[in-house]
Structure 1
């Protein structure tokens, strides 16, 4: 992910820029396990070299950050993140003003979602055509250019960025005091208005985060179906009470079994992942056969000469080198010899025997993407929604190094392990997420009306099958 931030824009000298870039490039090339998974070495070398050649004069931290962000995006790994220095970020949160409009991207069109300015001519649901000097198609291209995400799933990148689009605009495009926005009004006529930038507290007011169960089960009578919503693959806590994911999951399937339902809908939309073992646990309720979820876990290197620029202590680093045992496949690939995530997984007890449907979208990611891919490949469910953000063949995550560049203090998250799902390679699917059998995407009107079109479609599908 990109962590948006902007601050007092300190200027870096050429030697400072080159030193930071050497560390940045060095640790990515040395340790990032997925650096050449979706972009070839030649493509990455070209991207690195272009930036290196541009470091021939002093530049602000913001300008330098933008160049580095274009490279992290080029890796096409959703777990690789980059953040500005803390002083720069502090300036954004405390002093800067943002565009007073939150947006939604639907089928490559941009719509107003909220407008907190005094000028309410731009209303939720109005299609935005242009912001200042940039048309929407150019804005979407920039969102893809700077934003990391797995493989070639561009629409998932845009979906992630839209959540903090006012930050994105400030960090990558401009920091104007006013925003000239051209849009289509209710009568579908072009209209242009000028909105003043507003403080962060007004654009995105702080809201108390409500703790909710990460697993939720409900039953629908007509048609008779169980709906299991999994919000995250983690244990959780509400108040003082702690909940264990696997225990709650077991209780839910016991209730499903007692209810004697023939149809189960598993909703993993907007689930950004979590513990790999918990993804396996859910998958295990859909099959009686033992399985290997991952066929391998791969590292690029066993050690790095850039450890001193990371937040990893010397002791932790030594333990990392001692504890992890590898088989060397070649000079740049080390296969982890053993890990719980590669063990044969089998759950005692019967699996669900009815018809399974899985709801997915462009925010089904990481462990969720792996669960969806394995369940899809084994034909254990019918998938409804939009393509997942998590790659079909796994992801690069965990064992992360957090790097702080010595001069700019820009931080970079470098994942060290490439998880490969236990799925035979199909070139047509490489770089894609799990693609649903039934593509169902809400319109902007559906979003504003909070209409769950994917669930509605699935219930109608079940009814149709039952009446045959």
Structure 2
């Protein structure tokens, strides 16, 4: 009986802790110290973009600013600044799952897009269909939209604090970032202006769980769907096709750990490309946040005219060794030590010196011209692909600046550790992966654009795609010029 009571009180105390609403100064400071200590031990990008002195200055400022107990969201916003200050797009702070059930929590039911200096509804997932796509948002709960977005951008992690990426995620993932700033709401009041209307309206919209938002948005915006690895002929006369790659992941079933379905579908698409005698292939990477790294090589072998290597070096901090290779794995810890024998500045490295095993596909290799469409949502495996391709002289890059750095990224394997008091989850990459770019074609920190094409209001209203229209028109004009 005594054991049962002990277990009962342990469970009760855990539940009370999980639902705790206010944290003392000491508790928040303890979580800050834990976060910094874990980052310095595990994170391969700690002090890579942000100097140690600058980070410590921010840390001390936030530490000393806490003079009274903080609510759950106040603590999140303090600690969140220490996460975004690492300036790495793969590093983020998450709520405790016990507090916010992802399927049940209510979100603001719409998404935004910035065009020039204004913000518009891009997707309305609410029950009210009268707030149509293209409506200009002026304020939410009487807070001017520009001030609101600036708050949300502070909580967005991005490589070297990429301002375009921070703007992109704050608007394209607006419901999630609004929740992080203001918590769960039953409804929000939106002040807006309908397309081509001067009148200002105000309406209250009920917040909804994600399944409900998806249900309404899927019904209204069927034409906006971009199936991953979808292929369509854009212009049969000029032999122009477009391949949508919305992510570098596609599992056929739960045991398809190697993403072999992606490999099969991709091969089928390039078989179709060959059969249809495509001469100009547009690959739409917009909004592709990455995925499974081996799928990069699976794509590039159809595009590259010569053998290629993806990774130059790969390394991790010594302190992360047993976070990558758990002691109970038995054999992997030993294999990891043998594979990463070079050591420097607290890192263990693996360097690729030999010729690549990635060879062009002799049967389905694409011989025509390639065009990559981009936006700030292109990150991780996507920017990896384009940087290697561009360095190999493959394709033209058209659209908006990408979100990921040219040199590589902190990625590969992850550690999700929990802070002791707030229970926030810190998502942390463990590997530093440097791209193999022997020709160093890319000059900037982010991938160089061949043509910058920004999104516009007409595109938002009509769902035309300005960057696709630009690319197709450019191809047609070049073919006409070649005939003259």
TM-score using structure 2 length: 0.81
Corresponding residue of 1:361 = 375
| Alignment of structure 1 residues 199-348 onto 2, 5 Å | 199-200=208-209, 204-205=213-214, 214-219=228-233, 220-237=235-252, 244-303=261-320, 314-316=327-329, 319-320=332-333, 323-324=336-337, 325-337=339-351, 343-348=356-361
1:98, 1:232 → 2: CA distance? 24
Q: 1:206, CA displacement in angstroms? A: 5.0
Name the SS of the counterpart of 1:275 in structure 2.
coil
Contact 2:279/2:367 (<8 A) preserved: yes
Deviation sequence 1:148-185 (CA, Å, 0-9, x none): 12234322222223244234223314767764544444
Contact 1:366/1:390 (<8 A) preserved: yes
Name the SS of the counterpart of 2:433 in structure 1.
strand
Relative to 1, partners in 2 of residues 1:238 and 1:105: Cα closer, same or farther, differing over 3 Å?
A: farther
Relative to 1, partners in 2 of residues 1:344 and 1:38: Cα closer, same or farther, differing over 3 Å?
A: farther
Relative to 1, partners in 2 of residues 1:129 and 1:408: Cα closer, same or farther, differing over 3 Å?
A: same
CA RMSD for the aligned pairs? Answer: 3.7
Deviation sequence 1:264-308 (CA, Å, 0-9, x none): 22222222222212112222322222222221112233447xx7x
Match status 1:406 vs 2:400 = no
Match status 1:57 vs 2:71 = no
More helix by share: 2
Corresponding residue of 1:170 = 179
How many pairs are equivalent?
453
Name the SS of the counterpart of 1:364 in structure 2.
coil
Corresponding residue of 2:10 = none
Corresponding residue of 1:454 = 467
User: Structure 1 unaligned runs (5+)?
Assistant: 1-6
Corresponding residue of 2:8 = none
Name the SS of the counterpart of 1:88 in structure 2.
coil
1:29 alignment partner, one of 40, 46, 55? 40
Relative to 1, partners in 2 of residues 1:66 and 1:314: Cα closer, same or farther, differing over 3 Å?
A: farther
Contact 2:153/2:167 (<8 A) preserved: yes
1:339, 1:450 → 2: CA distance? 47
TM-score using structure 1 length: 0.83
Relative to 1, partners in 2 of residues 1:239 and 1:323: Cα closer, same or farther, differing over 3 Å?
A: closer
1:20, 1:312 → 2: CA distance? 26
Q: 1:368, CA displacement in angstroms? A: 0.9
User: Structure 2 unaligned runs (5+)?
Assistant: 1-17
| Alignment of structure 1 residues 40-79 onto 2, 5 Å | 40-79=51-90
Relative to 1, partners in 2 of residues 1:202 and 1:261: Cα closer, same or farther, differing over 3 Å?
A: closer
Corresponding residue of 2:444 = 429
1:250, 1:62 → 2: CA distance? 47
